């Protein structure tokens, strides 16, 4: 077992910051000490195997991205990052844990889907990983299987109110699944958009010759998101199921969540960097077919309606609890270009797993969130929300030594030529400049990134058996 001492840094957690040294013994954090502490009169730095100097830098718990889709079969193709390439890119950006989605497709069995995803990920991941379970066919057999998910370390499942004919569940199916969620303590995750109404609008737009990527955003209007969010909240209220709404982009959907929370309901919301930085007009409406790069669901919202500002504000006020990426990358060539002449054929998804920590840190620099809130929304809350807190999401004795040394005086220029490790032929974040830099990344005590060098392996990442949400009483 090797020992590491991180010296001279500012340890930042969700509750505060302090000057402290962090002692790592093997895979776990052994102690958080006053700077320059000694051990039985010996200089600690002289007694450990490795010393990492973090002077002037932040020492934070590794990022947890609780919404990724590595190699997801979707939209007639497959997400271009494998577990190997996607988790390596995540490590580059300071994310040391992902929670990906195992999929039960229509006509398949839930546990077969979970087994398939275990097979895809095992031995391929640079960082630790867990699974949520997508239930794409709610029937009696699925409902029984859902009750066994917690024993598999899968304490959350996802339903879709969108994508009819693919993952869609109707209200009766949602109601039945939520009953199981309420009884078992599974967190219900919801893709909240009114899929049937969206499909009707897509047909109308295409019939009018409106085929550009921009119309993806028009068809998936905020009313579609607000209505579905409200319906999901009401069904959760009725059944007593805890509800976590994924990739929230419309300010009206946030208002629904906030009202339900004010009403005492266990309802939570996640947003993604694209909804904080990008818009319907500037990205989806880009020249020619460029907008395809930014086709994702829920879609980017109008800047004239100020959804983006509202989303930052919601992060500050805790109307939205955390930020994940919904990382679902597709290349322009051979994937996104399937939708030339028909926006509905563009595979939905943006790749961001590498940049979440940086993009959210820019929110600290810009005065939109505090340093502590940055740690909370990118690591601590995801850990608590999805049953990993204590081991993950915190710098404290006994926790996994998943640690990032972040340099606030550093700089990151995001772009294909400079900082791109995701398996995509473009970057949705090309040209973004970040006033900070991920210097060093440790996962369970092992250095994965140091001085712009990758030192990890694809066999390092371990499956995490998650407990029920620690966000619930
Ligand atoms: O556009 C998206 N979000 N693609 C991934 C699938 C999903 O809905 O989360
Ligand atoms: Zn979704
Ligand atoms: Zn997703």
Nearest to 260 by CA among 234, 297, 288: 234
SS in 3 state form for 275-312? HHHCCHHHHHCCCCCHHHHHCCCCCCCCHHHCHHHHHH
Q: Which of 189, 246, 328, 347 to mutate to test the pocket of ligand 1 (most atoms within 8 A of CB)?
A: 328
56 and 63 Cβ atoms separated by less than 8 Å: no
pLDDT by residue (tens digit) across 206-220?
999 999 999 999 999
Query: What's the CA gap between 354 and 453, in Å, rounded?
Result: 15
Q: How far is the CA of 286 from the centre of ligand 2 (A)?
A: 23
Distance 67 CA to ligand 3 centre (A): 6
Q: Where are the beta strands (DSSP E) in 414-466?
A: 433-434, 437-443, 446-450, 453-454
pLDDT tens column, 330-384: 999 999 999 999 999 999 999 999 999 999 999 999 999 999 999 999 999 999 9
Query: Residue 276: pLDDT band by 50, 70, 90 thresholds?
Result: very high
Query: Is 90 exceeded by the pLDDT of residue 242?
Result: yes
Beta-carbon contacts of residue 329 (< 8 Å; ≥ 6 apart): 79, 80, 81, 86, 349, 350, 351, 422, 423, 424
Please tell me the number of the ligand nearest to residue 192's CA: 2
292 Cβ contact list (under 8 Å, min separation 6): 213, 332, 336, 337, 339, 343, 346
| CB of 69 sitting under 6 A from ligand 1 | yes
pTM score, two decimals? 0.98
Best residue among 278, 326, 350 to mutate for probing ligand 1's pocket (most ligand atoms within 8 Å of CB) is 326
| Cβ contact 328:69 at 8 Å | yes
191 lines ligand 1 (CB under 6 A): yes
pLDDT band per the 50, 70, 90 thresholds, residue 160: very high
Q: In whole angstroms, what is the distance from residue 213 CA to residue 194 CA?
A: 19
Counting ligands in written order, the one closest to the CA of 326 is: 3
Residue nearest to atom 4 of ligand 1 (CA): 349
């Amino acid at each position: 077992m090797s020992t590491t001492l991180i010296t001279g840094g500012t340890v930042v957690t969700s509750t505060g910051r302090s000057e402290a040294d962090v002692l790592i013994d093997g895979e776990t954090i052994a102690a958080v000490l006053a700077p320059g502490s000694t051990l039985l009169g010996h200089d600690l730095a002289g007694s450990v195997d490795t010393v990492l100097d973090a002077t002037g830098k932040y020492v934070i718990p590794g990022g947890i991205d609780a919404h990724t889709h590595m190699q997801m079969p979707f939209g007639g193709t497959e997400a271009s990052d494998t577990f190997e390439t996607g988790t390596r890119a995540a490590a580059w950006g300071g994310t040391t844990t992902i929670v990906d989605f195992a999929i039960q497709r229509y006509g398949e069995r839930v546990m077969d889907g979970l087994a398939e995803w275990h097979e895809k990920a095992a031995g391929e991941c640079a960082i630790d990983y867990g699974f949520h379970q997508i239930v794409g066919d709610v029937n009696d057999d699925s409902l029984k299987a859902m009750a066994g998910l917690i024993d598999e370390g899968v304490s959350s499942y996802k339903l879709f109110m969108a994508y009819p004919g693919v993952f869609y569940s109707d209200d009766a199916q949602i109601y039945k699944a939520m009953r199981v969620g309420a009884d078992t303590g599974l967190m219900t995750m919801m893709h909240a958009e009114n899929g049937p109404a969206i499909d009707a609008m897509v047909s109308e737009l295409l019939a009018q010759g409106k085929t550009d990527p921009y119309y993806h955003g028009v068809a998936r209007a905020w009313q579609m998101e607000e209505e579905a969010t409200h319906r999901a909240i009401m069904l959760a209220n009725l059944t007593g199921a805890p509800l976590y709404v994924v990739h929230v982009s419309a300010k009206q959907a946030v208002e629904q969540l906030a009202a339900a929370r004010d009403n005492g309901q266990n309802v939570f919301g996640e947003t993604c960097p694209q909804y904080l930085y990008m818009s319907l007009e500037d990205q989806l409406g880009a020249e020619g077919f460029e907008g395809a790069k930014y086709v994702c669901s829920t879609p980017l919202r109008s800047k004239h309606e100020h959804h983006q500002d509202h989303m930052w504000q919601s992060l500050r006020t805790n109307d939205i609890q955390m930020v994940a990426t919904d990382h679902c990358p597709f290349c322009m060539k051979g994937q996104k270009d399937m939708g030339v002449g028909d926006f509905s054929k563009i595979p939905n998804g943006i790749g961001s797993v590498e940049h979440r920590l940086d993009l959210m840190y820019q929110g600290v620099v810009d005065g939109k969130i505090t340093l502590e809130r940055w740690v909370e929304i990118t690591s601590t809350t995801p850990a608590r929300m999805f049953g990993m807190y204590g081991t993950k999401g915190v710098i404290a004795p006994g926790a996994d030594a998943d640690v990032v040394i972040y340099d606030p005086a550093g700089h990151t220029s995001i772009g294909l030529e400079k900082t791109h490790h995701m398996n995509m032929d473009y970057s949705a974040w090309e040209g973004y400049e970040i006033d900070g830099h991920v210097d060093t990344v440790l996962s369970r005590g092992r250095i994965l990134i140091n001085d712009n060098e990758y030192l990890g392996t694809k066999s390092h990442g371990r499956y995490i058996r998650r407990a029920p949400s620690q966000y619930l009483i």
